[in-house]
Every structure is written in C-alpha cells, then in structure tokens.
Structure 1
Amino acid sequence: MKKFWVALIAVAVVAGFALSASAADVKFSGSYYATGLYADNWGLKDDASAGGVYAQRLRVATAFKIAEGLTLNTRFDALEGRWGQYGYMGTAVDRQGHDVGGRDADDNNIAFDRAWVSFAVPFGQFDVGRQAQNEWGTRFASDSFDAEAIRFSTKNGPWEVGAFYEKQIEAYGAEDYDNVVSDGGVNDGDRDNYGVYGKYKWNGGLAGLQIQFMNDATENFANLNGDGDYKAKIWTFSPYMQGTFGPVFVEAEINYAYGEAESELDWDDMDIRAWNAFIHAKGNIGPAYVGAFYAYVSGDDPDSDEEIEGSNFFGASGYRSGLPTGGSIFDPCLILWGAYANKWLGDSTARALSLGTDHHTGAVMENAHLFQIYGGFKPIPKLDVQAKLSYAFADEKPDNYDDDEYGTEFDLTAAYKIYDNLTYTVGFGYLWAGDIYKGATDNDVDDTYLLMHRLDLSF
C-alpha cells in the first residue's frame, strides 16, 4: 500500500501546485471491476480439472485543466490481479500459494500507463506524451495499448482530420543504439509508426479512413523461418463506418496491411499481405433487440514460405505489431476470445500445451472466421438479458491438422443496473469444442463451460 499512498500524495501535490498557480479544474474518471470465474474442463480434454478465480482492477484517469485549452492528462491502474495474489500481509503469491514477491510486494501494484498534455492552437489541437494507441474505428481490431506520441487534429464542420507519430519501441544497448545480430547483420531495434486520418460525421452516422506506415526493426520480425533478422515496413489502410437507419444500427470496418519484411542478411525478402473485416447489424424491437455480425482475421498460409498473410505466421500466436488481429478490446464471447476468461483463467496457450496442439482462441482473435447471432430483452429498464450463439473456424488450417473448426458456443448473460454507474452481470457459456484442438495428434477433445459474475463501476 505504500506505493499507493506515495502515488496519491504525488497526484495531490501536482494538483495543489496547479491549483495555486492557475486555479486548475481537476476532473477524475475511471472504472473498477471485480469478477468471479469458474470453468470446468478449461483444458478441453477428458482429465482436465475444474477451478475458479476472483480478480479485479481499478483504473483512474485525471484531467488537470491548467488554462483554457491546456490540459494535463494521466491514467493509472491499481490492484490489478487475482484476489489473494498479494496475501493478507502484502506478500505476493503464485496460484499454488508460494511466496514469489516477498513482504510488501503490494507496494508495486500501481502502474501509471499514460501521461500527456493537450493544448489548443488557432488551427487545431496537439496531444503530446504517452497516450492511447490503436483505438480507431469500431471496437473490432482496436486495442488499448499505450505509446509515446505526438498527435495533431483539427475540425471543420462535419470534418475532422489529423496526423500522428508514435515511438512504440526505442531499443538500445549496443554501439549507436544498434542491435548486432550473431550472423553479422545489424538491426536498429526501433519501432516507429506514422499515420494520417480523416473522419466525416452526418446526422446519425460517421465514416473514417486511417492510413499508417510502420517501420519495425525490433525482434518482432526477427529470425523468420530461421533466416536471420528482418525489418518490416508495413502500410495499413483502415476504412470504417457506423450509422443508424431507423431502428437499425449498422457498422463495418476493414484493415488491410501491405508491405515487406526485408532481410538484414542475404535472405529473400517476404511480402506482407494480411487483412481483417467486420460487419455488424443490430435492430431494436420495443424492449427487445436482435443482432448479428461476421468477423474475419486472415491466417497465414503454411504453404507460402515467402509471404506473411496473418499474425499467426509460422504458428506463432500473439501480437505481431502492424498485422491485423481482432484486437484486445473486441470481446465477442465468454470463452472464445473472451477477454476476462482468457486473462484470468489462462488463454489458449495453456490449453494448447495441455493438448499438444497449436491454436489461436486466446484473448485476441487470430486466423479465424466468426459468425454470431444474438438477441436480448429488457423487461425493465435496469435489466438486460441476452443470449448469443457463435460459430468459428480457422481461415488457414495449420500443417498436418485434420480439422479447422474451433467450435460452437452458446452464451447467456443477465446484467442489472444497481445504480446508473454500477452494474452486476451473471453469465453462463458453453463451448462445443471443435476438432482443430486435436492438432496433428489423436488427442481426445472435450467441451468446456464457464460460469461468471462481475461487478462493474464507472465514474
């Protein structure tokens, strides 16, 4: 707790100086959630065990209005972890209860994620510092990453245009801040992102286009196929639209990544051609609503050695910056690509290891087609009961796999607003697991179910 009080005092001191110097207006916002999750057979095999966990996160954002048009913004997360993770005396423990952090480990449970200054100029606004990155368009394909950046935006009537530069990674450690690879190549180790965008609003709708160029010389694209280090240069084109037409809301988004991974040695370069797509419609019928969507993320073709078509290339699951995924904000199901369940119960990596297979149904959607229909009913304004039926299969089947089906999932949730800013949700999810989890083996695959409840506070 010591670090919490130090952080709180620091914020208070900054606020005090700002208030005394310029009578700053300080605004706080944020969220807190506490969730309980129980899963049976999370490992998707006959002898997989059942178990549960409670977890939480506090997120606080502050905006110090120093003067008209000038604001200092910060955001931090605190106490993010499993209940009992820090022990009853502040000692961090693992899932088996072993001491892993020593006494006072909870002093390190505050993480300042963002700090940036916003200031207006006669022709627009600048945002400078560590801020949100890759939050564009719909919730699909968006992330909640942080990066140091310089952003400029300006508005004129229904139009908004802007440009930005992001320093995502600055590597160092060798002469001239270069990383010298063992084979004699040189890799500068940085990742820089440049972009421009435009948006147009009309009554009931919004459309936009963003174009980015990423120069990635980190280890993100190192040692492709064992062929030494590569630098990736990627252009990404991202159009989207959202609109309400009578009782129907429609949205769609496409992200297309085009570029090349250039060898630092004498190996052949590799073309990058990856994309994703999303289309969603929802209609209101009195107190009820129905909707459906299709989401797609291209997978890497295992037979194309000189082209990268998806973020799962070479069977490597995880973020590949610059290559389209479903994004960490997209949370379509309770189990398949479910953010809470995969974060706190363990994502597909653990399940894949337990089965000896390789698949991509963790917290971020990769290499997949996903179809979903859903419907809900609000018997009273504070209660929302919703059912979802989803079906997913892989875009590209890995080598030696006999099946591409991730499975069919049914989810049922009920959310009740205790207060306008406090919601309690209970849910049940069941996954009829597909045979892609068998991989290239004869492992038996069994279904799984999830029980959850969650308390969400926003302020």
Structure 2
Amino acid sequence: MKNWFVVFLAVSLVVAMTVPAAAEPNLSIKGEYVVQGFHAEGVFSQNQGLAETLDEDELDYVYQRFRLAPTFKASDNVSAHLRFDFAEGMWGHDQDFDTNRAGDTSTNNDDSEIQVDRAYVDVDTTWLRVRAGLQFFPVGQTQVFRDNEPGLQFDIKTGTPFGIRLGWIKAWEGIGSGTDSTRLFSLRDETPETKDQDRYLAVLGWKSDTFAANIFGVKQSDSGHGATPNGTGFDYNNQEEPHVFGLRVRMDLGALAVHGEVAQFGGELTYEETDTTVDYTGTQVNVNGMFNISDALKVGLDLFYSSAAGDNEKKITSMGNPFASYDIRNGGSMGWDTETYGRANGFLFSSVIPPGPLPGDVFDPYLQGTGSKGAGVGAMYTMFEKLSLIGQFHYMVADDDDLTGVTGEFEKGYNLLAAAVYPIAPKTTLHATYQRVDASFMDDIDPDPSNVYSLWMRVLF
C-alpha cells in the first residue's frame, strides 16, 4: 500500500509540473518540514505536584514532522483536499528506524511513517458550501472547541452580512469486539460497546469590514462510549455528554484590534455501573487587545477569567479532538503561537507525560478544577526587517484554591515566554524559544520553576 502511495505522489508531482503555463493547474501541493531540539527541566515535577523537584527531571530530545497538503481542483467550485504527516516523532524513539519500521517487536505498525490528517471534498456553490470527510472543525476562536474528525460542514450563504454554519462530527462509530464475522453486525448499535458518539455544532455569524461576531453552540451525544472514571481508557457503560455555548467578538480599528470570547460549559458525565452523574461546568472569558505602535513594534494585553469547579462537578475548558490548540500560554491570543512552537507536538513531550508545561493553559493551569484569573502582556519587535523578538508574561491566581477532595491545589503562578525568529533562507526560518513556568500550590507543595529551551527550524514549500 505504501508503494502505491509513493507512485501516486510521484505521478501527481510530474503532472503538476508539466501542465502548460497558460493553463490553470488542477493540482497544488503545499507543505512544511519542522525539526525541533528541546531541553526541559522540572516540568514533570511541577505537573505532578511534587513537593520538590526531582534531580533527574531533565529531558533532551529532537522531534520532527514532514507535512504535505495536496489540493485537487475538479472545477471552479469543487476541490478535494488531503494532508499527510510523514515520520512524525522523536528521533531514535517514535519513528523506529529499523528495517521494517515496526512500532513494536510483534507487529508492523506504520503509524510513525504516514498519518492522514485530512481527506475531504469541498463543494462551494452560490448559496451553500458543503465539506464532507476527514476535516478540521473550528468554532469561535478555537479556544473552547476545535476538532479534526470525519463529518459534514454546511455553510449557508444568506447574501447578507449574516452567515450560518452547521456541522455533524462522527467522533466514534461503535464496532464492538470479536472476530470479523461478529463485528459485521456491530453497526446495529444494540449493545453498549457498539453505540456511537457524535458532535453537533451551529454557528450564527455577522461580519463587516471592521467588526465580526458569532454565537456558537456545540453538543456531544454519547450513547455509551464514555471514558473510565480515571480517564485512562474507555468504559462503554459511561456516557460523556458535554456541551458549550458562547460568543466571539472581534473589532479591527486600524492600529488597534480587540477580540475576545465568553463561553459556558455544561452537560453530564454518567457512570452507568454506579448510577452516578457528574455535572460538567466552566465559565471562561478572555479579551485581547493588540496595538501596532509602528511597522516594527506590536504590543498586546490579555485579560482572562475561568470559574472553579464546585462539588460533584467536573471542570472542562475545551471540547473536541484537535491536532493543535489555541493556547494563550504559547501566544495564541496574540497571534504568535505559529512562531513560538509552530503548532507542532514537540514541546508536549517536555513533561514526559503530555501536554508540556502549564498543561491546562491559563484557564485551569494544572487541570485540577481550580480555575484561574489573571492578565498578561506581550510584545513583538522586528529588527532590520528580519530578526523578530517576541516576549510575553502572564500572571494568574486560582479562582478557588480550596477544593473538596483535592490536595495540592494550584494557588498562583506565572508563565514567561521569549522567542527569536530569524529567516536563514527564503521560506526557511530559525526559531529559538525559552519558556519558564513558576507555580505555587497549597499543602506545602512548591517545586522549583520549570524551564523549556528549544531551537528549531521550519521550511515552507
């Protein structure tokens, strides 16, 4: 199968390069290569809530990702889209550089060779746009919901500044277990282990030259494919049915741009075996202002608040199954996350157990349910029209640092991020990043600050 794919890609490239210049090509290919080197100190100890930082809590590794995204044009308003990641992982570990590229000693696991991220068709007509297949589903500013799953999206064009987008996502199609002959009947959805999980979204938006706003809602329907109570796997007797509603607003006033979002989570997590229910909860707000002082200097301000969980509540700050995140901790709200870590997964491994430093972002810093409130400042300065310097600092305190049944709650802390970006060749940039997180916890838990250093290169083509 891999050989056929290589032949297909080679033929496609030849066809694309031999199309006459006067004709519009039917195939275009974009992509990027990212290689990142990391050194991390103290991240594991901090994320695990250890009283003291472990002496051996240091990591050094190299991560890479090679991405291709072909687009096939069938007509002026119909196109097909693919995206592949090749050989993504840590050097000498995830990619298994051996004869068979086996994921383990017993099976030939090709996951580290080719990963299919996108496979969908886009049909764009006068009044309706339909995208069907494995695709990206953004909602709001993609802070509270972003998904990359198979499904359908419908954009209804009204001919006015108002627009409507609807979506259905097949998050899980229950296929049961057993032999191939028994699995043939598993699509009947008659037993807990063959039931499905779906997500539904609706977005109502309004847009002008200087102002845009949208109201959104996302609901997950789960007929039996829930997580285990400790979150380590699936328990088909449990039902996860969270939802989120929110408002996103953006204003562009020339040199000043302001955007923000308010969202409210709800729903229930039901454990069927114990006949108990936990309520999903979470109210979060963030506002960002960006001011272009000059062509070379930009400054930004973040304000944010996220409520804590109460008794018999499970706090969540996002939904979906994304490949990346819109993290304030990494400069997402200021538009710098693609420069500080490239929306690649390398930095996640800095804590041994993902997802990197400050795992819950600023809204629930250590995913304990404490919530958070705070502010941040940032600046980007471009020297000589080449070297860009980025710096940001966020300080936060818990909304509630005395939760029932929790030991070592997050109390207060800060996130410092600094980066330098330099173009070393056309479409090739070198990035140096430093991130420091210092957090204090209740119950005399106060580990040393964590530090993550990264030097990485990105090539766009």
Q: Same fold (TM over 0.5)?
A: yes
1:443 Cα deviation from its structure 2 partner? 5.8
Match of 1:257 among 261, 265, 274: 265
User: 1:359-398 to 2 correspondence within 5 Å?
Assistant: 360=360, 366=367, 367=369, 368-369=371-372, 371-397=375-401, 398=403
1:34 Cα deviation from its structure 2 partner? 1.0
Is residue 141–residue 330 contact of structure 1 (8 Å, CA) maintained in 2? no
1:127 Cα deviation from its structure 2 partner? 0.9
User: 1:408-447 to 2 correspondence within 5 Å?
Assistant: 408-419=414-425, 421-435=427-441, 445-447=447-449
TM-score (norm 2): 0.77
| Partner of residue 55, structure 1 | 63
Q: Distance in 2 between matches of 1:131 and 1:364?
A: 28
| Partner of residue 459, structure 2 | 457
- Structure 1, unpaired ranges of 5+: 94-98, 181-185, 312-318, 353-357
User: 1:228-247 to 2 correspondence within 5 Å?
Assistant: 229-247=237-255
| Partner of residue 39, structure 2 | 38
Q: Distance in 1 between matches of 2:39 and 2:209?
A: 44
Aligned Cα root-mean-square deviation (Å): 4.1
Residue 291 (1) aligns with residue 312 (2): no
Is residue 290–residue 298 contact of structure 2 (8 Å, CA) maintained in 1? yes
Q: Distance in 1 between matches of 2:193 and 2:106?
A: 38
Q: Distance in 2 between matches of 1:224 and 1:39?
A: 27
Letter of the aligned partner of 1:328 in structure 2? S
User: Kindly, what percent of the aligned residue pairs are identical?
Assistant: 19
Rate the CA distance shift 1:406–1:13 in 2: closer, same or farther, 3 A: farther
Is residue 278–residue 295 contact of structure 1 (8 Å, CA) maintained in 2? yes
* CA deviation profile, 1:400-442 (whole Å, cap 9, x unmatched): 5355235223222111123453221112223323235xxx5x6
Q: Distance in 2 between matches of 1:267 and 1:106?
A: 41
Q: Distance in 2 between matches of 1:350 and 1:25?
A: 39
* CA deviation profile, 1:20-60 (whole Å, cap 9, x unmatched): 9x996101122221111112333340413433111111121
TM-score (norm 1): 0.77
Rate the CA distance shift 1:64–1:285 in 2: closer, same or farther, 3 A: same
* CA deviation profile, 1:106-163 (whole Å, cap 9, x unmatched): 7851111221111234521211111113x223253353x4211121113324332221
* CA deviation profile, 1:86-122 (whole Å, cap 9, x unmatched): 46645769xxxxx945898778511112211112345
1:200 Cα deviation from its structure 2 partner? 1.8
1:387 Cα deviation from its structure 2 partner? 1.7
Q: Distance in 1 between matches of 2:89 and 2:80?
A: 28
Of 231-240 and 280-289, deviating more is 231-240
Q: Distance in 2 between matches of 1:371 and 1:147?
A: 33
Rate the CA distance shift 1:245–1:120 in 2: closer, same or farther, 3 A: closer
1:342 Cα deviation from its structure 2 partner? 4.2
Letter of the aligned partner of 1:343 in structure 2? L
Q: Distance in 1 between matches of 2:219 and 2:38?
A: 40
User: 1:17-36 to 2 correspondence within 5 Å?
Assistant: 25-36=26-37
Rate the CA distance shift 1:9–1:157 in 2: closer, same or farther, 3 A: farther
Rate the CA distance shift 1:37–1:406 in 2: closer, same or farther, 3 A: farther
Match of 1:131 among 120, 123, 135: 135
| Partner of residue 314, structure 1 | none
Letter of the aligned partner of 1:422 in structure 2? T
Rate the CA distance shift 1:444–1:259 in 2: closer, same or farther, 3 A: closer
Is residue 119–residue 125 contact of structure 1 (8 Å, CA) maintained in 2? yes
Is residue 304–residue 363 contact of structure 2 (8 Å, CA) maintained in 1? no
Rate the CA distance shift 1:123–1:247 in 2: closer, same or farther, 3 A: closer
Is residue 224–residue 236 contact of structure 2 (8 Å, CA) maintained in 1? no
- Structure 2, unpaired ranges of 5+: 46-52, 178-185, 332-339
| Partner of residue 160, structure 1 | 163
Partner SS for 2:6? helix
Q: Distance in 2 between matches of 1:178 and 1:104?
A: 31
* CA deviation profile, 1:160-199 (whole Å, cap 9, x unmatched): 222121111111217664475xxxxx46531112222122
Is residue 43–residue 49 contact of structure 1 (8 Å, CA) maintained in 2? yes
Match of 2:143 among 140, 144, 160: 140
Partner SS for 1:8? helix
Partner SS for 2:43? coil
Rate the CA distance shift 1:234–1:188 in 2: closer, same or farther, 3 A: farther
The total of aligned residue pairs comes to 421
* CA deviation profile, 1:212-236 (whole Å, cap 9, x unmatched): 23212344355599x9944344442
Is residue 281–residue 291 contact of structure 1 (8 Å, CA) maintained in 2? yes
Is residue 64–residue 72 contact of structure 1 (8 Å, CA) maintained in 2? yes
* CA deviation profile, 1:278-334 (whole Å, cap 9, x unmatched): 211111112222112134444433xx12x43436xxxxxxx7659xx9x72325249
User: 1:263-342 to 2 correspondence within 5 Å?
Assistant: 264=272, 267=275, 269-286=277-294, 287-301=296-310, 304-305=311-312, 307-310=313-316, 321=320, 328-330=325-327, 332-333=329-330, 340=345, 342=347
Q: Distance in 1 between matches of 2:56 and 2:173?
A: 42
Is residue 284–residue 363 contact of structure 2 (8 Å, CA) maintained in 1? no
Rate the CA distance shift 1:141–1:453 in 2: closer, same or farther, 3 A: farther
